[in-house]
Structure 1
Amino acid sequence: MLIEKLEKLKALLAEADRALVAYSGGVDSALVAKVAYDVLGDRALAVTAESPSLLPEDLEEARMQAAFIGIAHEVVQTHEIENPNYAANPVNRCYFCKSELHDTLKPLAIERGYPYVVDGVNADDLRDYRPGIQAAKERGARSPLAEIGITKAEVRELSKWLELPWWNKPAQPCLSSRFPYGEAITIAKLQRVGRAERYLRQLGLTTLRVRSAGDVARIELPPEQIQEFVQTTDLPALVAAFQSYGFVYVTLDLEGFRSGKLNQVLHLVES
């Protein structure tokens, strides 16, 4: 069944004849880039958007992954932070982010002779609140994984089967996702969160978030790691580091990490 989906993905990309992949370096878009390159060779291009909401090390990792795959890779600059609709951080912030992305990629695709942009949206993404998907569709982008019905778990399974070393790479959404809706986003705040998450990664942690609300940093870790983290981490040193980045208070979320946790306020409003 899974191999059948892989063959459908290959057929979809082969039919396009040329593919410009909106490539973040995440496991989803990396799978699309890998299959596109396997099918199309030099008629496939991966393009990554660089902006203040992307950690420099994540961009470097995207470059290394593209080199491993063999696909041609380019980096473009996006400026969503300059859009007041984005910076105000409304509940549909991602709509304005993806609008900027695809308003940048679509002209590039037209100029280079690609029929459309393909992205890494998977079937599970369609079941979550993802206003960015609408922005991409409005600009003619296609989502091969979602069209074929490939889920996140299947993305990882296929990536492992294709021997991509990052098949189990934790999801790493843009840094703007760390802020509660309604709190304005600035470059300084993005950099503050980025430095805090980099500090935790240097401790050997991989799945994590530093949620930012005003002067408060709230650390999210997998529930099973919380006790060991508290027992083995030099907490005063961590607090001092976070405060040097600009936070005043540093807290630990006892519920633990959960992807998309800030969206729970939307469900509360709906109920």
Structure 2
Amino acid sequence: MKVFLRKKAARDVGPRVNQWKGARASQISDHRQQARREKLVSRGRRALRIGQWIVGLAVLAWGLTAATQEMGPVLQDWLEIREIEVEGIHHVTRPEVLERLVLKPGVGLHQVSTAFLAERVQAHAWIKEATIERRPPHLLHVTVLERTPAAIIRMGTDHWLSDESGYLLAKLGRQDDETLPLLTGLEFQAIQRGEARVRNAIQSGVVLAKLIASTLDGRIEVDLANPANVVASANGVRFQFGDDSLVDQWERFRKVKPSFKTASSEGRKREVTEIDLRYDNRVIVRERV
């Protein structure tokens, strides 16, 4: 006799389902609800704190604005600029510096930008550097470093005063200053545009003039028309330089210069008219015939 048993239906494959029943299932459900409530409460507290900070900052900003409006006239009176000191001027006049500052009457120390005022003052041709300091309650202090005249640049019939960096300081017209070296062979437009090659040429000319003046007397003249062949003259002697270092070329001449005195002491009088230093390791001396 066959006994037929019904097979249980197979369950679908899937994630495990919590099948706890009774008190255990109720306990788990309570824990979940409590966790949700605590999370909601935490979010609410965080939002409340952020709101309190926003309100506090708004109140603080309003208070500062109100205080500034109330204290503004008092602060303006306390820090009003009533005195300006100018230090370091020699060629520049005090009115010229004040004109560059362009300060309105009644302006306060706290209302000006020292960096901006310094840029205005430095726009003057003679002024190399300027420093502006606030010195409460009413003093604005200006310290100026002027450019130093280093050479006369002749362009056409006009003479210009220049510093060692090639900045034009003043136009002298036909007037000259023979205490300074004379530079020629330069273009006025190129100097005005501040071209680097011209500035470099002026700087080289000033350096060369100082080197020659340390060895020879008299005024130094330097022709800078050709940077590869600078020509200088002093006491009727013409010096030709190549495109190598001017300092090295002059040092080469200084080493052989004592030989001129020796030859003169031996009764052979030399009237040197030109010294050519354009060639490596050579000093070519040309004499008047």
What TM-score bracket applies, with the shorter chain setting the length? under 0.3
Q: Larger RCO: Structure 1 or Structure 2 (Cα < 8 Å, ≥ 6 residues apart)?
A: 1
Normalising by structure 2, report the TM-score.
0.23
Q: Which structure shows the higher strand fraction?
A: 2
Q: Which structure shows the higher helix fraction?
A: 1
